[in-house]
Amino acid sequence: MPHLLHLDSSADPRSSASRAVTAAFVAGWRERGSAFTVTSRDLQADPPPHLPDAALHWSPGLRTAQEVVDPADEARQQTYLDELLAADVLLLGAPMYNWSLPSTLKAWIDHVHVLGTTVPFGEFETRPLAGRPAVVVSSRGASYDAGGEQASWDHTVPPLELVLGRSFGMSVSVITLQLTLADRVPAMADLRDRAAAEADAARSYAGELAGRIAA
């Protein structure tokens, strides 16, 4: 059965823009039928810890004799890996926080980017996620239009494209919505119509993409 792994990392459970878009994607996915199943993990409500041991960056077969990992830490990592490897499609809610990733999402990445398990290293040429679709939903409070001063300040989407696309070999699609602070910041009042239109478009596109993405 086609299976979706849905991760949210927004710290705002009340009015998150990225959560609204990932929810639209999940709804579109479920509309394809009961065979289209979902595992959802809220990285804000149940945050992964910072990687507790550098040895977890390596698959067991690549660790040195001195790198003995705590069984509880290894079991937690394996839970994240099992969820990811079981997914036909990955959906990530990745709001921009201070021009970068939410720390909870970075911690999750550190647990699943494992040399010799999810990415190739040396004689371990495994890349089990290659070719699978990944959808990144990125929201940001201001405008980062191409050609503008802030266009190069986005350190949220590029790292995810490197990890998911270059390292894992996944086929990455990105849905972005901007100006999410327009309703809150008086100086952005004249941008509120544009912000609302971008949010509507992002939700609509997410639902449409979920209805046709290969699984």
The pLDDT assigned to 148 comes to 66
Confidence of residue 211 (pLDDT cuts 50, 70, 90): very high
pLDDT at 150: 72
Q: 9 or 147: whose pLDDT is higher?
A: 9
pLDDT, one tens digit per residue, over 74-116 is 999 999 999 999 999 999 999 989 888 999 999 999 999 999 9
Give the pLDDT of residue 145.
67
Does pLDDT of 52 surpass 70? yes
| Across 164-184, average pLDDT | 90
Mean pLDDT of the chain: 92
Neighbours of 3 (CB within 10 A): 16
In terms of Cα–Cα distance, which of 170, 168, 177, 169 is closest to 201? 177
- The CATH code that applies to domain 3-210 is 3.40.50.360
Domain limits of the chain?
3-210
For the ranges 26-30, 55-59, 119-123, the lowest mean pLDDT is seen at 119-123
The residue that leads in pLDDT, 47 or 156, is 47
pLDDT at res. 91: 98
Res. 188 pLDDT band, cuts 50 70 90: confident
The 3-class SS string of the chain reads: CCEEEEEECCCCCCCCHHHHHHHHHHHHHHCCCCCCEEEEEECCCCCCCCCCCHHHHECHHHCCCCCCCCHHHHHHHHHHHHHHHCCCEEEEECCCECCECCHHHHHHHHHHCCECCCECECCECCCCCCCCEEEEEEECCCCCCCCCCCHHHCCCHHHHHHHHHHHCCCEEEEEEECCCCCCCCHHHHHHHHHHHHHHHHHHHHHHHHHCCCCC
Which phi and psi (to 5°) does residue 172 adopt? Answer: -100, 130
Tell me how far CA of residue 13 lies from CA of 131, 192, 197, 211, in angstroms. Answer: 32, 21, 22, 25
> Could you tell me what percent of the chain has a pLDDT over 70?
96
Nearest to 77 by CA among 28, 114, 41: 114
Question: Is 180's pLDDT higher than 90?
Answer: no
Report the pLDDT value the prediction gives residue 123, as an integer from 0 to 100.
Answer: 78
Residue whose token pair is 């009042």: 189
Which of the four pLDDT bands, split at 50, 70 and 90, describes residue 151? low
Q: Looking at per-residue confidence, does 119 or 145 come out higher?
A: 119
For residue 47, what pLDDT is reported?
A: 97
Query: Is-contact 71 53, C-beta < 8 A?
Result: no
Where is average pLDDT lowest: 19-28, 45-54, 120-129, 178-187?
178-187
Kindly tell me the sign of the dihedral angle through the C-alpha atoms of 41, 2, 117, 19: negative
